[in-house]
């Protein structure tokens, strides 16, 4: 099992749940309208704060960097004698 943290997946799941709950058309008939308003406000706040927190935990694909700010660069592929990456013969 993969034990690495998945902040974007957790954030997306929480936001989907909150959005589905606040988007339910009959919610104001199940709980008081003031509670629905508070739930909508919580959804907005979680969306804003969560986006900032998650953004700082993931590696951007456009300019990946290490935690200390050094740029991540790909390691050159090893060249196997007699073959290229596609399998063509030299």
The answer to whether residue 80 sits within a structural domain is no
Q: Which of 41-45, 50-54, 67-71, 80-84 has the highest mean pLDDT?
A: 41-45
pLDDT tens readout for residues 28-66: 888 898 998 999 999 999 999 998 888 877 766 777 778
Q: How large a percentage of the chain has pLDDT more than 90?
A: 26
Closest residue by Cα to residue 45 from 68, 14, 24, 69:
14
* Angle CA 45–49–50, to nearest 5: 105
Q: Is residue 90 part of a domain?
A: no
34, part of any domain? yes
Within a domain: 11 = yes
The number of folded domains in the chain is 1
Which residue segment(s) compose the domain that 41 sits in? 7-55
């Amino acid at each position: 099992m993969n034990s690495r943290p998945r902040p974007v997946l957790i954030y997306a799941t929480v936001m989907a749940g909150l959005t589905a709950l606040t988007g339910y058309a009959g919610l104001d008939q199940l709980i008081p309208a003031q509670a629905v308003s508070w739930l909508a406000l919580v959804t907005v706040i979680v969306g804003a704060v969560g986006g900032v927190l998650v953004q700082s935990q993931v590696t951007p694909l456009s300019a990946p960097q290490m935690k200390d700010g050094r740029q991540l660069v790909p390691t050159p592929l090893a060249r196997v004698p007699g073959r290229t990456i596609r399998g063509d013969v030299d």
